[in-house]
Structure 1
Amino acid sequence: MGTALGAMGFLAAATPAAAAADALVDDPAPRKPILVGANPGLQLFDGAGSCTAYVSTWQVEWSTHGAGNAFVLWRPDGVRAVGEDPHLTLWLAEHFVRHFPELDGLPWSAPRFHRSAVQVRLDLASGLRAWGGGIDVSMAEVLDRRAFATDRFPLAGVDHSLSLVFGPCGRARARVDGRVQPGGISRGGTPNRPSSSAFLAAAEVWRA
């Protein structure tokens, strides 16, 4: 199932030892914050393990391209980017989402921008509800909460620094234009360190 088992694929592969090693890496002096906020993700799979949808939810408190909420939705029929600010929303899609490990090997088309307000309610205790522009995402049953940091998250071949609080979820659903999206989430890991293709990502800081 590709990168299903974990947060943004990359987080699933990071062991506690690897995360600790990253924490000891000297702070790359030239890197400065480019985004502060939250970025929950939801990836769905069919019975054969093929991705049926990936929804990247954004709650941007500050960035070099502005602030606001947005969705980036990948489906086999194309990419939809929803938000009030096309400058911010399309940057999130092209700079970040298209390079996330979840989409490795999947076709990427030019995002179709849909101007709409996006509402996001994120709670590390209970989950997520976000909606706008015909997309409605919910996540519940938060299985764990743990910190993650690395100075080696590649986007388009360029290492970025990333820190966040990660919360894999046991239940999730996405509706697009009123229809429940097919497929289900993938869960794995261990009882002490569960992973899921539905995850919260809060207190998120990207530096480049």
Structure 2
Amino acid sequence: MRTDRTPFDSDRDRPSAPVSRRGVMRMGTALGAMGLLATAAPASAAGDAPGKEPALRKPILVGANPGLQLFDPSGACTAYISTWQVDWSTHGAGNAVVLWRPDGVRAVGEDPHLTLWLADRFVRHFPELEGLPWSAPRFHRSAVRIRLDLASGLHAWGGGIDVRMAEVLDRRAFATDRFPLGSVEHSLSLVIGPCGRARATVDGHTLPGEISRGGTPDRPSSSAFVATAEVWRA
């Protein structure tokens, strides 16, 4: 969805080795960071996840999935927000936001069937949360509004969560047939754009932590990124 306002107003790479969805953003970032900011890890690191041959896999989700991860000065993750704009999936269509914090997981959307599927099928297995505790998501029924634009960034809000990202630094295509979600490998393709600025509030309070940026001028990376044209196959 295009907008002429940036989120702060008012107020085909094909890797030779298997890498994760977030691996395309990991290149060139500091080794000491966590999650998205670690170096790309091959899917085989999680074991040889079974699944259909790539040619036999069918779409299970089509849409967009921007992400925002915040860190404290020591490099520990203070929050991760996964925003979903689902055009079609095996579990329906709609918008949702999944928020991870050390004290628990909040899943916001109008359809619990879709929202909790996104949280449990996808978000809990994302590399950003590797090694972090995962508790049963607390579902919060609320409309989620999303303005997503590869030119200017993202504004998503609903259920007490407000996420803003701006200053898109780059746009890159990415595809892999070796993205494990739990014990099953999936195929994934998308267009992703690291962002230079981001902020988020929950219930009126600004989330602690900062984004982390790295990479090179030609291939910048960030723990805040927009992503669209996203297709998952299994």
Q: Same fold (TM over 0.5)?
A: yes
Structure 1 distance, partners of 2:184, 2:214, is 29
Structure 1 distance, partners of 2:88, 2:216, is 35
Q: 5+ residue gaps in structure 2?
A: 1-32, 42-52
The alpha carbon displacement at 1:30 in A equals 1.8
Structure 1 distance, partners of 2:167, 2:176, is 26
Q: Map Cα deviations across residues 115-166 of structure 1 (whole Å, 9 max, x no partner).
A: 0000000000000000000000000000000100000011002110000000
The alpha carbon displacement at 1:111 in A equals 0.2
What's 1:201 paired with?
Answer: 227
What's 2:8 paired with?
Answer: none
Instruction: Answer whether contact 1:4 1:186 (CA < 8 A) is retained.
Output: no
Structure 2 distance, partners of 1:41, 1:29, is 28
State which of 146, 151, 154 in structure 2 corresponds to 1:128. 154
What's 2:186 paired with?
Answer: 160
Q: 5+ residue gaps in structure 1?
A: 15-26
What's 1:85 paired with?
Answer: 111
Structure 2 distance, partners of 1:83, 1:100, is 20
Structure 2 distance, partners of 1:40, 1:51, is 17
What's 2:11 paired with?
Answer: none
State which of 34, 56, 59 in structure 2 corresponds to 1:33. 59
Instruction: Answer whether contact 2:36 2:127 (CA < 8 A) is retained.
Output: no
SS at match of 1:29: helix
Structure 2 distance, partners of 1:97, 1:89, is 11
The alpha carbon displacement at 1:2 in A equals 1.5
Q: How do 1:7-156 residues align onto structure 2 when only pairs under 5 Å count? A: 13=40, 28-156=54-182
Structure 2 distance, partners of 1:124, 1:29, is 30
What one-letter code is carried by the residue in structure 1 that aligns with 2:89? Answer: S
Alignment TM-score, normalising by the size of structure 1? 0.90
The alpha carbon displacement at 1:29 in A equals 2.3
What's 1:19 paired with?
Answer: none
Structure 1 or 2: more strand by fraction: 1
Structure 2 distance, partners of 1:41, 1:65, is 21
Instruction: Answer whether contact 1:167 1:200 (CA < 8 A) is retained.
Output: yes
Instruction: Answer whether contact 1:52 1:182 (CA < 8 A) is retained.
Output: yes
Structure 2 distance, partners of 1:36, 1:58, is 10
Aligned length in residues:
192
The Cα RMSD (Å) is 1.4
